[in-house]
Structure 1
Amino acid sequence: MTGERRAAVLGSPIRHSLSPVLHRAAYRALGLAGWSYLAHEVDEAGLPAFVDGLDGTWAGLSLTMPLKRVALEVADHVSPLAAATGAANTLVLGPDGRLADNTDVAGIVRALQAAGVGAVERAVVLGAGGTAQAALAALRELGTKDPVVLVRNAGRTTELAAAAERLEVHPEVRALLTGTAGDLAAATSLLTGADVVVSTLPAGAADEFGGVRWNPRTVVLDVIYAPWPTALGAGAAAAGCRVASGLDMLLHQAVAQVELMTGRPGPVGAMRTALDEAVLARS
């Protein structure tokens, strides 16, 4: 397939991004000659001008922090999922304009499914930020509308609550990440009783759960991928749990982006191989 087509990942900072590795591997595997994928340092203030300057050769943009909310403002159309979660990590550029979409949800769903998750009854989410909102949507797709969400401060969950209302889910928010012995015990009890645990906390913030006596049937997704393994992921794996990392989520959200931008199924195997090689080279 020939003809110049361009795509890129935008964010700030962006130098660390592995998205170019994933998308370029997909283009090679799909035989998409003439397709290119770069990384551009763009902040919130610079996004409108960057998008306005794109010509018809552009197929799409991947958007990372801090652009996932402002992306909705530069789009001509917003997918129901992006509208419900309040964030978009993808802009598809086509003849009908700019479509904002969210493949983080697909990334979480597919990462959990690849780890063996089927229907979910009891789930726990750690954290209340944008990725936690995507986790609510993913868990809804997997069968649960009432996960427990553990946070440091229940008063700082306004955006999570708004997303939950739009998604028509009913999370139970509990302030149990305060570091006190009583809260740690209560949080541990919830984690060990869950089918699925999704940690959306920043690096190091979930380390206190590294020593949890996990139930081996629990599937754990920690969205961190550097450094890996995290204390949480290592502890769960040592207990016999099936564990997915942020790399798994990154892979599968990129697969979904490739599908949206090219109209072709994302080549999971080729993208996984390229990702693993890139991570090994960096380490």
Structure 2
Amino acid sequence: MSSAEATEARRAAVLGSPIAHSLSPVLHRAAYAELGLTDWSYDRFEVNEAELPGFVEGLDGSWAGLSLTMPLKRAIIPLLDEISDTAASVEAVNTVVLTEDGRRKGDNTDIPGMVAALRERGLEKVEYAAVLGAGATASSALAALSTMCSGPVTAYVRTHARADEMRGWGERLGVEVHTADWAEAGHAFDAPLVIATTPAGATDALVPYVPDRPGTLFDVLYDPWPTSLAAAWAEQGGTVVGGLDLLVHQAVFQFAQFTGESRSPLAAMREAGRAALGLG
């Protein structure tokens, strides 16, 4: 019997702190509505690292899955029975599937979500790339690039410690990582693919460096959108992939794991996300 025919109510939710801003409920609920999963619900819960073990232990058999956001992507790992190779590669879990036999299986859908978002725009392979920033999302970007970049990746960072971290991730993921100081970040735009993983406003000063014929920019922010960099990039005719693209693609992978559904709710999720962000 498919999940659409199941009569038992099933639950899923996103956990994190802060969590009020999360679009995950909007996306997953839109998917349930689109595919007729009337017995499914998806909520959000404010949960910090100290509260996480108690929350997980309190879940009953109605729970199918959890989405994890900061600061829980690493804190959840000791509470799991197994994690996928993808999640292990970056030591971060954003998806937990709760099986019928009570096991907790962790995965990371951010990485395939990045790859899928780029493929949707026609980008399958690049010879080299650049990453702006060096946080958790940057390590996921390197993992995604390990599947599609044949040459080196240059990471533009602010500190020597961050440079060391990115080179370490590169060694672990099998990616040739070069590092450069953030003051040189304008040179990143010579690459055919630039992935910006920095907080809001961090790349605003780089707008004057956008070339006349830019390649592809993947800016992982989604609110506010477009960022100044994304707007300037599009104005020059470059391809722009945004944070909402990443959000919906990783959510599609989560949805499939939670529900067992083979039908994709991508269009419904994207439409709901754009409406929630006021993008029309």
TM-score of the two chains, using structure 1 as the length reference: 0.91
Report if aligned partners of 1:105, 1:137 keep a CA contact under 8 Å in 2.
yes
Q: 1:140 aligns with which of 146, 161, 165?
A: 146
In percent, how many aligned pairs have the same letter? 49
Q: 1:272 aligns with which of 270, 273, 280?
A: 270
Question: CA distance change for structure 1 residues 75 and 159 in 2, over 3 Å: closer, same or farther?
Answer: farther
Cα root mean square deviation, aligned: 1.7
- The one-letter code sitting in structure 2 at the alignment partner of 1:238 is E
Report if aligned partners of 2:214, 2:236 keep a CA contact under 8 Å in 1.
no
For 1:11, the equivalent position in structure 2 comes to 16
Question: CA distance change for structure 1 residues 58 and 129 in 2, over 3 Å: closer, same or farther?
Answer: same
Between 1:163-172 and 1:101-110, the stretch displaced more is 163-172
Find the residue that maps to 1:143 and give its secondary structure: coil
TM-superposed deviation, 1:170: 2.1
Report if aligned partners of 1:126, 1:198 keep a CA contact under 8 Å in 2.
yes
Q: 1:84 aligns with which of 75, 86, 89?
A: 89
Report if aligned partners of 1:216, 1:240 keep a CA contact under 8 Å in 2.
yes
TM-superposed deviation, 1:141: 1.6
Question: d(CA) in 1 for partners of 2:148 and 2:124?
Answer: 7
Find the residue that maps to 1:273 and give its secondary structure: helix
Report if aligned partners of 2:219, 2:243 keep a CA contact under 8 Å in 1.
yes
Question: d(CA) in 1 for partners of 2:146 and 2:259?
Answer: 27
Question: d(CA) in 2 for partners of 1:242 and 1:27?
Answer: 31
Question: d(CA) in 1 for partners of 2:167 and 2:212?
Answer: 29
TM-superposed deviation, 1:166: 2.6
User: Would you say how many aligned residue pairs link Structure 1 and Structure 2?
Assistant: 273
TM-superposed deviation, 1:278: 1.4
Question: d(CA) in 1 for partners of 2:146 and 2:246?
Answer: 17
Q: 1:194 aligns with which of 180, 191, 196?
A: 191
The reply to whether residue 126 of structure 1 matches residue 144 of structure 2 is no
The reply to whether residue 209 of structure 1 matches residue 206 of structure 2 is yes
TM-superposed deviation, 1:115: 2.3
Question: CA distance change for structure 1 residues 74 and 164 in 2, over 3 Å: closer, same or farther?
Answer: farther
Q: 1:230 aligns with which of 224, 227, 230?
A: 227
TM-superposed deviation, 1:272: 1.2
For 2:52, the equivalent position in structure 1 comes to 47
Question: d(CA) in 2 for partners of 1:213 and 1:145?
Answer: 22
Question: d(CA) in 1 for partners of 2:47 and 2:26?
Answer: 19
Question: d(CA) in 1 for partners of 2:55 and 2:165?
Answer: 27
TM-superposed deviation, 1:70: 0.9
Q: 1:30 aligns with which of 35, 55, 60?
A: 35
TM-superposed deviation, 1:145: 5.5
Question: d(CA) in 2 for partners of 1:248 and 1:91?
Answer: 21
TM-score of the two chains, using structure 2 as the length reference: 0.92
Between 1:61-70 and 1:95-104, the stretch displaced more is 95-104
Question: d(CA) in 2 for partners of 1:98 and 1:239?
Answer: 47
Find the residue that maps to 1:99 and give its secondary structure: strand
Question: d(CA) in 2 for partners of 1:263 and 1:144?
Answer: 34
TM-superposed deviation, 1:224: 1.0
Question: CA distance change for structure 1 residues 110 and 215 in 2, over 3 Å: closer, same or farther?
Answer: farther
Question: d(CA) in 2 for partners of 1:160 and 1:213?
Answer: 24
Find the residue that maps to 2:208 and give its secondary structure: coil
